Structures are given as C-alpha cells and as structure tokens.
Amino acid sequence: MRVVLGEDLTLLRDGLIRLLTAYDMEVVAAVDSGPELLRALVDHRPDVAVVDVRLPPTFTDEGLRAAIQARTQLPGLPVLVLSQHVEQLYARELLSAGTGGLGYLLKDRVSDVLRFIEAVRTVAGGGTAMDPEVVAQLLARRDRDDQLGRLTAREREVLGLMAEGNSNAGIASRLVVTEKAVSKHIGSIFTKLDLYPAEDANRRVLAVLTYLNA
Amino acid sequence: MTDVGEIIERRARQTLRTCVRGIVLAVTAVAGLPLLVASLASVLLLPAGLGVVLAPKSLLVVRRHADLQRRWALDWSGVTIARPYRSLSTKPTNRLFRAFRRCRWVLGDPATWRDLLWVPANVPVSVVLGLLPAFLLVAGTFALVNDCGTILAGWKNVVPHNFLLQVLFLSMLPACVTAGPWLLKLHAAAASSLLAPTRKEMTARVGQLTESRWEAVDASAAELRRIERDLHDGAQARLVALGMNIGFAEQVVRDNPDLALTLLAEARASSGQALSELRTLVRGIHPPVLAERGLDGAVRALALSLPLSIDLHIELPGRPAAPVESAAYFAIAEALANVVKHSGASRAWVQLEHDHGRLVAIIGDNGVGGAHPRAGGGLQGIERRLNAFDGMVAVTSPAGGPTQVTMELPCELSLART
C-alpha cells in the first residue's frame, strides 16, 4: 500500500514512517508543508494520504485545505486527517469534498497502534474512520427530530461505532454481543435510513454519512 | 501649465466644499432649535410622569445632534472631540425601574446639559462662522464680475473715491479661499468648548480605566496561576509516571515480559490522559480553531460542538485584533455555556456583526429566563473580560424567557485573509 505523509514535526514524521513501514506500507513521499503536500498527492496518487491539519507556511489549517483540494481534483482519493484537536466543523468540510475513503482522528489515536493501522486500512479501502470524540459530540445532541430520531439507542450506538470505522466483528466485541446481533442492528439501521439498494460496504458509508451530516 | 490648472481647480473645489459645509453647519444649528424646545418641554413634563419616558428620548436626540457635530469636527477640521457621556449600568431590573434608571442616567449626566446649552449657543456661532465663507465667495465673485464689466465697458462710471472699497471687495475671494477652512476649524473649537469632556470627567474616566486595567491584570494573573497548577498536577505528573513506567519496563523486559507489557500499556494510557488534559488546557488558553479560522469559524465550530441547535448569523468582513478576538470568543463561549447549563432551552441563536466600529454579539435562547449576574458567576466574568477592552454587556432575561445577552466591543477589523 502506497502512502503519502504530510507532517511537519520531524519526530512525529519519522515515527509515523517507521510505524507504517512496519505494517507493510510504503511511504512514497513524506512532506512538511501544504503546497508540497498538494503536489505530492497529485503526483503520486497514493492509496492513502495521512495528513496533519496544521502545516506550514501559515500554521493554521493548511493540511486540511490541501486535503480537501486534492479530493476535489482527484475524487475519492483516500485521506486520513490527523489533528491535535477535532472539530465537527472540519469533519463536515472534509465530507463536503466527497464521500468515502475519509478519516479524521486525534493524533493521540496513533498510540493505539493496531487500531490506528486498521483505520488507515479502512480509509484506504474506501471506508470512514471518525474520531470517537466527534462521534460522542454528535451523540450528545438533544434535538434530533430527523431520520436518526427513528433509531433506537442501541442502533445509534452501533452507527456511532461504524462511523469510527469499526468492522462488524469490532463492533460486536466493543458492545459484548454476537456478530449476528450486530448485523441485525445494522440491517435495521439501513432500513430506517432508507438505504435499500447498493452493496453492503457502500451502504455502510452512506449510513455513516447520514449520521455525520445530521 | 497643467499643474497650475490643476492647483486652481483643486483650490476651487476645496473652497466650494468649505462653503457648502459652512451652510450645512448653519442649517443644522437652526434645525436644533425645535429640539431644544421639545427637550425643555419634556423636562417640564417630568412631574406629570410622562416626562420620565419623553425626557430621555428627546435628550438622546439632542445627544445625536451633538454627536453629529463631533463627527463633522473630526471629518472636516481634524478636531477630535471625545464623547463625554457616562455609560448606562446594565444590571437587570423590571421594566418600570429601568425607565427611571434610564431617565436618571440621561438627566444626571452633566454632559447632557452642556449638549443642550450648545444648541442655542451654536446658532449665532454657526450662522456667523458657517455662512461667512459662502458670503465671501458670493460677494467676492460679484465684485470681480462687476469690475470686469467696468473694464470691458471702457472704464466708464469709475468712481475713484470708492477705490478702497473695491480693493476690499476684490480681496474677499482670496480671503474665502485661504480663511474658509480656518473658519470651520474655529467652529469646531467652539463646539469642543462645550461638547468635549471636562477635566473632571476625564479624571473619572482615567480612574475607571485604571480600575478595569487592574481587574484585567488580576484576572490574567489568576488565569496563569490556574494554568500552572493544572500543568503541574496534570500533564507534568503524568509524564513523570510515564517515564517511570517505561524505565521500569526496560529493566524487567527480559526477566518478566508480562509485567513489562502491563507497564507499557499503563504508560500508553497515561500518555493519552496527559494529551487529553493538555488539549482541554489549550482550549482554555487559546482554542486552536480560533487561531486557524478566526472568530467566525471558531463560533461556528463552538456552535456545532454544543448539544443543542444554534442559529448563526455571522457577518464579519475581517478579523479584529487578536486580544479582542479572544475576549469576544470567550465571552460568547461563556454565554453559550450558560444557555446549556441553566436555560433548559431547545433553541439558541448567535448574531455577530461589526457595525460603526463596534463588534456586536447577541446571544439569545428560548429557555426559562431569570438570569442574574451573580458575584463570581458567568455573566460577571463576561463583564470583566469585556471591560478590559472598553466593551459592555447587557442582559434581558425576564422570568419565563427569552434571555438575550448583548455584548459590544469597540474595535476595527483588519482585512479578511483570503
């Protein structure tokens, strides 16, 4: 799997290269500024990009902008955005530049190596990996009179875990239920969100998007 | 040659402008007289009760009249006349008492009476100083045209003993060109004598500024102490534990790999907690999204992160200075936190715009109302934050709602970053 890395802190950049290489990924370019990142993404067209939100030269949201711009130029380019803080505002902006193959995680998540690598693979495979903190904020909202209001508490929990990028098996072990129970919940979520046609992986993404855009 | 032409054209335009401004001053001064009558009548109505409502209204119109003079003095003559008025206290009370307080605020301010005195005094001053440039222009032009006529007619009807008078008339035109702006400046100076703050008021203002500055310094010192304590007890302590665990794991990894694994897992959990604490702390000092997106984006992000839907109307064509931006953000965040904690509202709204050199934020909700600025409470915190920047906050929160918090901060916007 070919990866382009956008991170300006040397310590973190080297650590990430080591980590990704150890799990059979090839870092084809590691850059440290927004304009370079955009160039690298367009030139290399990697299987997945891992990008820090804050990059030189402005040290604001250069990385986020570069990622969004790259995704409008190369629709569907898988991007995993990392940040010291997560904002729903940024999650929405990322989603507005096209769906699927999208991740947005706190940098802290890197320390849970296995789940981080899983998230990178999920995003590369066209899935969605949202940080639990973004998901938790969404779950805390009081005023749900939309489609999601039809879901039961358990179904919303399952949907939240889906948004974080968990597989059925992952969700089952997190909720301590059988995998069969999980797929039953997911089927019910699809029905309630009017997602009948399309293949399963695609429906998962759509369900997550309905959830995140609410 | 063109240079001379240009200079003459510019001077002519300037002179015409001065004359028009002078006429505007005179007309405005005369137009102020009905205001004076209305104000005095409303003050006389005070014992009848009706004046309590009417007097502040009419006197505030007089105040607007005075503000207009202040603005013209600055724009036309470069004379700065500060506004001398006291600020209205914003403690919430019931409607009747508010009307009385407003009345006392306007009538109790000596600047109100000086404004009123200026209205009749302004009439002779403006009529003389304001109409003089126009008079000089018309009379001078008339004399010039007349003399040209005489010359063309072949010097007939020349009356030599009127020579001095002729020189006087002819000198009116250059006098108008050179002295016109000075006449307006003289008017501005006269206005300043009554419309500017007195020495006593300036002293009071300096006292007020000193107080708010000390409050701000105090608050920031307390803030620094809190940050120091949070770092000391939180992230620093966790990093120490982290180093200890990793060091210990290093020692035992060969003999007791199981223990080493446990220690490393603990270390990882500890690093996660330290990061989360640091993140909370950073948000409290200067939220990253504020640095990245400015006030506009930060308030949008804040609204999205709260557990109720918030309608936003944000119109900021640029960014305020960083300290103002930060104060405004935290004040809005505090107000919204109050909405979430106390109001029980299902909906809230934030209106944020920049108008006449002031940043205005209105935060409202459809909750239970009855909000009071308690000592050490959120509303008082907002007041202290904004005071440091000469800002103000007003709260209306009748029992049963809705609650509305209005904040104002004087500031300029820099051009938006693109």
ipTM score for this prediction: 0.79
The total of other beta-carbon atoms located within 10 Å of residue B9's CB is 10
pLDDT on residue B418: 40
pLDDT on residue A199: 58
**How many Cβ contacts (< 8 angstroms) between chains A and B?**
56
At a CB cut-off of 8 Å and minimum separation 6, what does B410 contact? B357, B358, B359, B389, B390, B391
CA of A198 vs chain B CAs: smallest distance (Å) = 31
**pLDDT at residue B2 greater than cutoff 70:** no
**pLDDT at residue B25 greater than cutoff 70:** yes
State which of A30-44, A91-105, A123-137 shows the largest mean pLDDT: A30-44
End-to-end CA distance of chain A: 33
With beta carbons under 8 A apart, name residues in chain A contacting B288.
54, 84-85
pLDDT on residue A36: 94
Closest CA to A161 of A200, A120, A192, A119: A119
The pair of structure tokens assigned to B390 is 């000469």
**pLDDT at residue B417 greater than cutoff 60:** no
B280 interfacial to chain A (CB closer than 8 Å): no
With beta carbons under 8 A apart, name residues in chain B contacting A116.
none
Closest CA to B339 of B360, B311, B375, B376: B311
Per residue in A52-96, pLDDT (tens digit) is 999 988 888 999 999 999 998 998 899 999 998 988 889 888 887
CB A89 to CB B300 under 8 A? yes
With beta carbons under 8 A apart, name residues in chain B contacting A143.
308-309, 346-347
CA of A210 vs chain B CAs: smallest distance (Å) = 16
Per residue in A21-53, pLDDT (tens digit) is 999 999 999 999 999 999 999 999 999 999 999
**pLDDT at residue A161 greater than cutoff 80:** yes
From chain A residues 170-199, the ones with a CB under 8 A of any chain B CB are: none
Considering only the top CATH level, what class is B288-415?
A: alpha beta
Q: pTM of the full predicted structure?
A: 0.68
pLDDT on residue A197: 55
CB B292 to CB A84 under 8 A? no
**What are the beta bridge partners of residue A4?**
A29, A49
* Per-residue DSSP letter, B89: P
A154 interfacial to chain B (CB closer than 8 Å): no
Section B358-387 average pLDDT: 83
With beta carbons under 8 A apart, name residues in chain B contacting A52.
none
Q: Cα separations (Å) of B116 from B50, B69, B84, B110, B256?
A: 20, 13, 14, 10, 91
Q: What is the mean pLDDT of chain A?
A: 85
CB A112 to CB B279 under 8 A? no
Low-confidence winner among A32-36, B121-125, B333-337, B368-372 (lowest mean pLDDT):
B368-372
pLDDT on residue A41: 94
CB A54 to CB B292 under 8 A? yes
Higher pLDDT pick, B90 / B279: B279
**pLDDT at residue B189 greater than cutoff 80:** yes
At a CB cut-off of 8 Å and minimum separation 6, what does A101 contact? A48, A76, A77, A78, A79, A123, A124, A125, A126, A127
Closest CA to B360 of B304, B406, B325, B418: B406
The pair of structure tokens assigned to A138 is 């969404």
Q: Residue B355's pLDDT band (boundaries 50, 70, 90)?
A: confident
With beta carbons under 8 A apart, name residues in chain B contacting A34.
none
Per residue in B388-412, pLDDT (tens digit) is 888 888 888 888 878 999 999 988 8
Domains and CATH numbers, chain A: 2-131 (3.40.50.2300), 141-213 (1.10.10.10)
pLDDT on residue B161: 56
What is the residue extent of each domain of chain B?
Answer: 2-195, 211-285, 288-415
Q: What span, in angstroms and rounded, lies between the C-alpha atoms of B416 and B398? A: 38
Torsion over CA: A30, A34, A35, A39 (sign):
positive
CB B308 to CB A54 under 8 A? no
Per residue in B69-82, pLDDT (tens digit) is 888 888 888 888 88
A68 interfacial to chain B (CB closer than 8 Å): no
Q: What span, in angstroms and rounded, lies between the C-alpha atoms of A207 and A163? A: 9
CB B301 to CB A111 under 8 A? no
CB A85 to CB B288 under 8 A? yes
CA of B379 vs chain A CAs: smallest distance (Å) = 24
Q: What is the mean pLDDT of chain B?
A: 84
At a CB cut-off of 8 Å and minimum separation 6, what does B137 contact? B15, B16, B19, B172, B173, B176
3-state secondary structure of A81: strand
Question: Is the separation of the CB atoms in B83 and B137 below 8 Å?
Answer: no
B180 residue type, one letter? G
Q: Residue A153's pLDDT band (boundaries 50, 70, 90)?
A: confident
**Among residues of chain A, what percentage have pLDDT more than 90?**
39
Which residue of A lies nearest to B272 if distances are taken between CA atoms? A108
B301 interfacial to chain A (CB closer than 8 Å): yes
Which residue of B lies nearest to A107 if distances are taken between CA atoms? B275
Q: What span, in angstroms and rounded, lies between the C-alpha atoms of A183 and B339? A: 40
Per residue in B34-69, pLDDT (tens digit) is 888 888 888 888 777 777 778 888 888 888 888 888
CB A108 to CB B272 under 8 A? yes
Closest CA to A199 of A137, A124, A127, A109: A127
Q: What span, in angstroms and rounded, lies between the C-alpha atoms of A206 and A200? A: 10
Section B167-178 average pLDDT: 79
With beta carbons under 8 A apart, name residues in chain A contacting B272.
108, 111
pLDDT on residue B348: 93
**pLDDT at residue B26 greater than cutoff 60:** yes
B275 interfacial to chain A (CB closer than 8 Å): yes
CA of B7 vs chain A CAs: smallest distance (Å) = 47
Which residue of B lies nearest to A64 if distances are taken between CA atoms? B292
Section B134-163 average pLDDT: 74
Section A129-153 average pLDDT: 73
Higher pLDDT pick, A203 / A7: A7
Higher pLDDT pick, B234 / B337: B337
**pLDDT at residue A145 greater than cutoff 60:** no
Per residue in B203-256, pLDDT (tens digit) is 888 888 888 888 888 888 888 888 888 888 888 888 888 988 999 999 999 999
CB B304 to CB A61 under 8 A? no
Question: Is the separation of the CB atoms in A129 and A122 below 8 Å?
Answer: yes
With beta carbons under 8 A apart, name residues in chain A contacting B295.
none
